[in-house]
Structure 1
Amino acid sequence: MEWIERAPAKINLTLDVLYKREDGYHELEMIMSSIDLADHLTFTPIEENRIEVYTNKAFLPVDKRNHVHQAIRLVKEQFQIDSGMLVEIDKQIPVAAGLGGGSTDAAATLRALNGIWDLNLNREELIDLGMQIGTDVPYSMVGGTAFVSGRGENVRPIKPMPACWVVLAKPKISVSTKTIFKALEVAQLENYEPQSRIVEAAIEAEDYEEMVRHLSNALEVVTFQRHPYLKNIKERMIRYGMDGVTMSGSGPTILGFSRNYSRAKRVYNSLRGFCEEVYIARTIK
């Protein structure tokens, strides 16, 4: 028996850092949405008590560092399952890009195991498991457009964002989320106005222009300081005529939004000679 799961990438329309909590983490508010750039995972249960993960990307670890491997091991330990699993990952989402590729794969794995091993877990129980793997996994379990808060564990679905094209530019730069948050001083954000509530209201009103006007990411202040090249990409997208531009997650992927496909395609073609990885995608419900 094979079980196939589709794992879509996520994008941030907003990422607001409200304050630093007593536990050392930052309190966040975010609007996230799914796009049709996706990984595909094929699961094959086996009798032997082992975990094997294969991928089409040679540089991607397939041992306990891999989120899929972690999710399988977590479920096996929690539910005393002594059989095993083979997983093939057709990786299309760029790695370490701020697009939640590892998290969406982990969420797809938890969904698959819930069905294959008849665990009968509800969404809240799956989200609790996912939070043990990574803070983006709960959102990836829900998908669509959502208001996300806390560290990422609170996920509230909202109306789907207005349909549009998204150009994604991912340069060959590695950005550590942990490092960016560690370097972030909340004092740096004293003039920053959180935008998530405004963008949520615009989405509920189906007001695309208001939505793209308030795209924002509080982490840009740190990530752009460390990687000025990313600010250059953002400025190019604005000059090329995208309706709105922001950074996804802690970077390095820069997102440009357009309702006009021909304009999005022109920007995509213009960036391909300037940036290592460029994609064009659609938003999905």
Structure 2
Amino acid sequence: MDRVYEKAYGKINLSLDVLGRRKDGYHDVSMVMQTVYIYDVITLSKLEGKDEIVLTTDVEGLPTGEGNIVYKAIKLIKEEYGIDTGVSAHIEKHLPIAAGMGGGSADAAAALRGMNRLFELGLKSERLEELGVRLGADVPFLIKGGIALAEGIGEKLTALPAFPECSLVIVKPNVSVSTKEVYEAFDSLTEVVHPNIKKLTDSLGKEDLRYIVKLLGNVLEDVTIKRHGIIDEIKKLLVESGAVFSMMTGSGPTVFGIFENEEKAVMAGKRLSEIGGFELVEVTRCQGLE
């Protein structure tokens, strides 16, 4: 095998709670994460006779050296398993950057899976997840995708029953958000309304969509909205356009709307596209990895 392709699915946070800051600077979290059918494509090829990593991308300005998480993922596998064959990698971006959708982490997860296949290492998903946490807190989840409860710093995963069937509209405004600054602002809050994630996880597979959406929540949302009011405007637009629920994912600024059927989602997506001024408006659905 000389070349492999991997789809790097993005994610949304169906619920996100921050439990506290750890001594190592990370935060303990409790999150319900779901992959969606928007993905980057990672292509990995062997470079015979050259022990190097050559990384390219179709996005101008994206780092292609050791500062890129895909480069780090490839290097990690090479070092862990004594691989002296060179690797060429290309990132075809479709996920927005710095959007709260785990784009970089998804690419790293896809690179780990791809290296496993390219060099026929036979590594199980659990081993890839152990390696992935060295690269980032969301990487272990994005190794398998689907829907899961993520605890600890995001590395302790519990598979969950499927989210009720629905369509999604995902909207990213033309603003950038610093995850570090959002968490720092959250740490200074004296009052926080925490979502009931246990009730949510207990209800999946048992309750319908309109019941489930009432249990969703993101403790970082208010922090980011105070800095970027456009997030709240998008939420209102999505609900006005027929969403049964709308919320920010991750630390933002991307917002998703949940719709009962594809027809309503398509109409909402068309409306927001006509309004314009957004970096991304995408009609999609929840997705497990193929």
Q: TM-score range by the shorter chain?
A: over 0.9
CA RMSD of aligned residues (A): 1.6
- Which residue does 1:2 correspond to in 2? 3
Mark the CA change 1:131 to 1:267 in structure 2 (over 3 Å): closer, same or farther: same
For 1:156 and 1:268, how far apart are their aligned partners in 2?
A: 32
1:165 equivalent among 161, 164, 167 = 167
SS for the counterpart of 2:268 is helix
Listed as ranges, the matches of 1:1-285 within 5 Å are 1-47=2-48, 48-185=50-187, 187-188=189-190, 190-272=191-273, 273-274=275-276, 275-285=278-288
Q: Shift in Å at residue 141 of structure 1? A: 0.9
Q: Deviations over 1:118-167 (max 9, x none)?
A: 33322222111111111110110121010111111111111121121110
SS for the counterpart of 1:175 is coil
Structure 2 counterpart of 1:256, which letter? G
Range 229-238 or range 161-170, more displaced: 229-238
Q: Is the 8 A contact 1:51 1:85 kept in 2?
A: yes
SS for the counterpart of 2:176 is coil
Q: Structure 2: where are the runs of 5+ without partners?
A: none
Range 249-258 or range 58-67, more displaced: 58-67
Q: Deviations over 1:176-226 (max 9, x none)?
A: 1122112212644x3403232222122231421121122211001211111
Q: Is the 8 A contact 2:45 2:118 kept in 1?
A: no
What is the identity percentage for the equivalent residue pairs of Structure 1 and Structure 2? 38
Q: Structure 1: where are the runs of 5+ without partners?
A: none
How many aligned residue pairs are there?
284
Mark the CA change 1:39 to 1:206 in structure 2 (over 3 Å): closer, same or farther: farther
Structure 2 counterpart of 1:266, which letter? M
For 1:226 and 1:270, how far apart are their aligned partners in 2?
A: 25
For 1:161 and 1:71, how far apart are their aligned partners in 2?
A: 30
Q: Is the 8 A contact 2:37 2:285 kept in 1?
A: yes
